[in-house]
Structures are given as structure tokens and as C-alpha cells.
Structure 1
């Protein structure tokens, strides 16, 4: 699955989008209720249980390091 966020462009992953895609695919009889969704940032395992709970399992990956620079105080 590829993700495009308005205002941000392409992103590495979207858990909500992955879950919604699985629900849509199941309702359209395209897949089973437990599947792996492949995203540029890594795979997510999505399970849509018969009680309508959705579970998402996947890695937490370090993708960025930065510093927040505070603006100089006005005199």
C-alpha cells in the first residue's frame, strides 16, 4: 500500500489507512480477515476480528533525528 497525505505528500506508512484497506478488501471478498499489508516503511499485520475489533501489529522504527530550535526572544 502506498500513502499520500494531503499537505505532506508521500509518507512511509499509515496504520489507519492499512486497517481501512483491510476492512474494504474483506467486505469486497478480496482477502481474509488476517493479512499482512506491505508499506514503504515496513509490513503491518492487520486482524479484523468477528467482534469488529481491529488489531494492528508491526515494528516501531526510528526514521528521523532532529533538533527543535527555539526562536530568539525579543528584547
Structure 2
């Protein structure tokens, strides 16, 4: 099956015998955004089906979005190759842009993820992201062990 489309905006897509309305967005990596009434569901039951769909031959990151209002979106993300993650900056940007082109949000929104909230803005054809930065790991590398690698 060949898929030769320039864009996918609010189009039906059957995944695991269920119909979703989807918008595909590239942020340098592929994302598909779909809207749900409630984010309290077992994402591991459908995330892998999106990731491995023949519609996305190189797999895809999938964002499930609940629209709270025009300035606040909530999302969960299934990242290709990783499963559900606490946060995804490119995913939050994809969610904002997909929601904007679908007329669901304003040009500046808060996107709430499991790991925190990001401020995303679309201005003059560019997407800007602002949010907290935290150290989550520190380590040291023994350089002698890696000289010949």
C-alpha cells in the first residue's frame, strides 16, 4: 500500500479496530496527534499500534491530547522505540501546532505533560518552547576505558 499525501490534517485513521481523527506533523521527527475526551486510559494498548502502523513506515511518535480550553492542552505521548515517556518537547510543539491548524487553540498555549507544563507559542511561522530545566542525572566517565572505543 502506498501513501502519497502531502499532509494529514484531521483525517480518519483506523488503528487497532478503532477510528481516530489524526493530524500528522513533522518537528524534524514524525508525530501524529489525535484528540481524546479523557487521558485516563491504558496508552500501552494503542500506542504500539500507532507506532507500527503501515501508514508510518518509519514509525511515529503519537500524542494523545485532551483540549482543556484554547490556552491549555493536556497530552500523553507514546514515543517510537521508547513507549510512554514523561515529556517530549518536539511532541508538545507538534501538539500545539496540530491544535492550532485544527482551530482548537490560540497561538500561545500551556501544554501539560506527565513531567510538567511547557509554554508553546507559534509566532511568524516559528514555534517556540519555554519550560523548566532540571538535572535528572549526573555521572562521570572514566576516559581511559573509552579511549579505544
Q: TM-score range by the shorter chain?
A: 0.7 to 0.9
Q: What TM-score, normalized to structure 1?
A: 0.78
Match of 1:2 in 2: 76
Structure 2 equivalent of residue 54 of structure 1: 127
Query: RMSD value over aligned CA atoms?
Result: 1.9
Which residue matches 1:21?
Answer: 95
Partner of 2:121: helix, strand, or coil?
strand
**Over residues 26-74 of structure 1, what are the superposed CA-to-partner deviations in whole Å (9 max), with x where a residue is unaligned?**
111101010000001110000001x111110000123345666859xxx
TM-score under structure 2 length normalisation? 0.42
Paired with 2:117 and 2:98, the residues of 1 have a C-alpha distance of 18
Q: Give the whole-Å Cα distance in 1 for the aligned partners of 2:77 and 2:120.
A: 16
Q: Does 1:11 align with 2:85?
A: yes
- 1:40 alignment partner in structure 2: 114
Report the CA distance between 1:6 and its aligned residue.
Answer: 2.2
Mark the runs of 5 or more structure 2 residues left unpaired by the alignment.
1-74
Bigger strand share? 2
- Residue ranges of structure 1 left out of the alignment (5+ in a row): none
Aligned residue-pair number: 71
Higher relative contact order (CA 8 A, sep 6+): 1
